[in-house]
Every structure is written in C-alpha cells, then in structure tokens.
C-alpha cells in the first residue's frame, strides 16, 4: 500500500476538546465527541484525549485522534463486504459550521448514519488474556464457553470465540455475559447475526494483521440498527483503543505480551503514587511521544499509512 500523498499526511493537528458552535453535542466520551447532524446523521470527532484506568488524562497525544480515525476508516472500507457500516462517505468539511478551520477536523472526523445501538459489546477473542484469562482461571470457561483444560495465559484458543459483554453504567466495569443472556436481551436472530458478524470481521482482520506481524488478541465491536432494522457495524473499528494488538515476534505463551495499546502509559502511571481517580497526572514529554509513536506504528503496520 502506498503512503498518503504529502498534503494528506500533513503535520498532525492537536485537539483535546472539540468546539463546533451551532452543532448540538450529543455525547462527549473519553475519546470521541459526537454531534448531531440533520437527516439522522452524526458527526463523530476523534480527539487526542488519552484515558488510562478510565480517567481522561490532561495531556493530549498529538495526532492520536487522526490516527484512530484513519485506522477505523481503513477497516470499515476493508470489511464492507462482510458487514454494512455506519459511514456515509460524506465530506466532513461540508458539514462543519462556518468559521471552523477544516484542517483541525477533516482527518479526525467522520459523518455517520445515526443508528439505534445494540446494547451489547461484541467481543471476539483469539487468545486468552484480560478478563477472558481471569474468567478461565476461575471457571474453565469464558462467557459460558467451556475451554480445554490447562491453557496458559495469552495462549491461542483452538478457535476464535464470541465473548459478549454488556455496557456498564458510568464508573462500573463491563460485565461478561453468556450468549444465552444476549439472546434474552435482543432476541435469537439478532444475537446470531451479531456473533457471526463479529467472528467474521475478527477472522478477516486477524489474518490481515498477521501478514504484517501483528497478532490481534481480541477486539470489541459495536453494532446498531438503521430504520429498516438492518444491522451495521458502528463506532470505531479495530483500533488500539478497542483491540489488543501484539507484535508477533515478541509473543510468548505464559506471559502478557507487550502491546501496541496503552501499556506504555500504564507502565509509567504505575510508577507514580496516583490513586487512579480524576484528575489524572500530567505526562512527561517522553511518555507522550512514546505513546504517539505506538499509535503511528499501528497505523503504519496495519494500514500502510506512514507518519514518521
């Protein structure tokens, strides 16, 4: 894949908090700001905010939102044959209020269909880590799926599994649930569709990433329904914020592999005497730059887009 032309790969912008006067702000998440557009559409802006241990840190990571947005867009394009997605393909500059500098927004924003969210975090796991590993150690199963005995931390699963969770209220942790619970929540037909789309997307992406030296240990997808009840994949897709990416050459069974995600900043934060409640601490320049590089590396290796 060829790098972006020079004008598109321009110096990254820095944006901690978006400001779009005249557009209604529907939601300010930890990372994204979501605005209402006419015609049942949304403008989703990926900012440079970084959260760790569920606290948004005061320092932005320059260009992180642009990189996240471009990684997501890459995957939405590449998986469109597997599942419709929320992107409308419309020009971001055309929907920005007059007076806003488009350069600050066009590479970090998308215009999307406004969908009715399916209230399930659709997670696929190919490896045993995180809450999957914790549940397995306790019960021998993950989300009610019985696994072979004797698996080790980070071990590859015999086949990828669908391990849904339900989104917790603010301040609480998401809850892993069994497939039957999802059936009770949204009905058997939609639950089946969710599972097969999640696994198909995961398997496709994992094969692509493996060719580029990255293991996708697990990933979380979100889905929504349009006015005709058609299922779409929405939100973000296969970014370091929603997935565990491991460098394949450093993978070892039995240890938690170094990752492309926030391990770098978490490791730094663990050296501090911080109680992990807001406000979060300032980050040294070296940690900001190191984190930025991790995202740039993911973008380059996965999507072939070179920034550094």
Contact footprint for ligand ATP (CB under 6 A): 27, 29-32, 34, 42, 86, 112-115, 117, 222, 224, 234-235
The span from the CA of 9 to the CA of 130, in Å, is: 35
The span from the CA of 127 to the CA of 158, in Å, is: 9
Least distance (Å) from ligand ATP to the CB of residue 62?
Answer: 19
Least distance (Å) from ligand ATP to the CB of residue 31?
Answer: 5
The span from the CA of 202 to the CA of 164, in Å, is: 14
- Max CA-CA distance within the chain? 61
Q: Judged by CB, which is closer to ligand ATP: 95, or 234?
A: 234
Least distance (Å) from ligand ATP to the CB of residue 42?
Answer: 6
Least distance (Å) from ligand ATP to the CB of residue 260?
Answer: 17
Indicate the length of the chain as a whole number: 308
Task: Tell me which H or E stretch contains 194.
Answer: helix 188-211
C-beta nearest to ligand ATP: residue: 29
Q: Judged by CB, which is closer to ligand ATP: 227, or 289?
A: 227
Q: Judged by CB, which is closer to ligand ATP: 6, or 170?
A: 170
The span from the CA of 191 to the CA of 149, in Å, is: 28
Least distance (Å) from ligand ATP to the CB of residue 105?
Answer: 16
The span from the CA of 194 to the CA of 171, in Å, is: 26
Q: Judged by CB, which is closer to ligand ATP: 81, or 173?
A: 173
Reading the block at residue 47, the tokens are: 């900012």
Q: Judged by CB, which is closer to ligand ATP: 113, or 292?
A: 113
């Amino acid at each position: 894949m060829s790098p972006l032309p020079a004008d598109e790969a321009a110096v990254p912008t820095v944006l901690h908090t978006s400001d779009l006067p005249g557009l209604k702000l529907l939601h300010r998440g930890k990372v994204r700001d979501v605005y209402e557009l006419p015609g049942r559409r949304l403008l989703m802006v990926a900012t440079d905010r970084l959260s760790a241990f569920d606290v948004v840190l005061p320092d932005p990571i320059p260009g992180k939102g642009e990189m996240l947005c471009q990684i997501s867009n890459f995957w939405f394009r590449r998986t469109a044959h597997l599942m419709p997605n929320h992107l409308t393909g419309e020009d971001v500059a055309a929907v920005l209020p007059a007076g806003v500098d488009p350069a600050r927004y066009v590479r970090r924003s998308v215009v999307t269909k406004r969908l009715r969210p399916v209230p399930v975090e659709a997670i696929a796991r190919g490896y045993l880590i995180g809450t999957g590993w914790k549940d397995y150690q306790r019960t021998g199963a993950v989300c009610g799926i019985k696994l072979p005995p004797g698996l080790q931390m980070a071990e590859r699963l015999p086949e990828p599994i669908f391990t849904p969770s339900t989104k917790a209220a603010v301040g609480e942790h998401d809850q892993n649930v069994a497939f039957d619970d999802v059936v009770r929540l949204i009905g058997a037909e939609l639950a089946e569709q969710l599972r097969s789309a999640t696994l198909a997307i995961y398997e496709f992406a994992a094969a692509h990433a493996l060719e580029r030296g990255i293991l996708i240990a697990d990933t979380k997808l979100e889905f929504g329904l349009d006015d005709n009840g058609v299922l779409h994949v929405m939100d973000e897709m296969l970014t370091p914020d929603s997935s565990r990416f491991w460098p394949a050459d450093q993978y070892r069974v039995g240890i938690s592999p170094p990752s492309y995600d926030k391990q770098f900043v978490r490791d730094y934060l663990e050296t501090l005497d911080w109680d992990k409640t807001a406000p979060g601490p300032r980050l040294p320049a070296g940690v900001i730059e190191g984190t930025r590089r991790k995202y740039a590396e993911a973008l380059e290796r996965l999507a072939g887009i070179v920034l550094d």
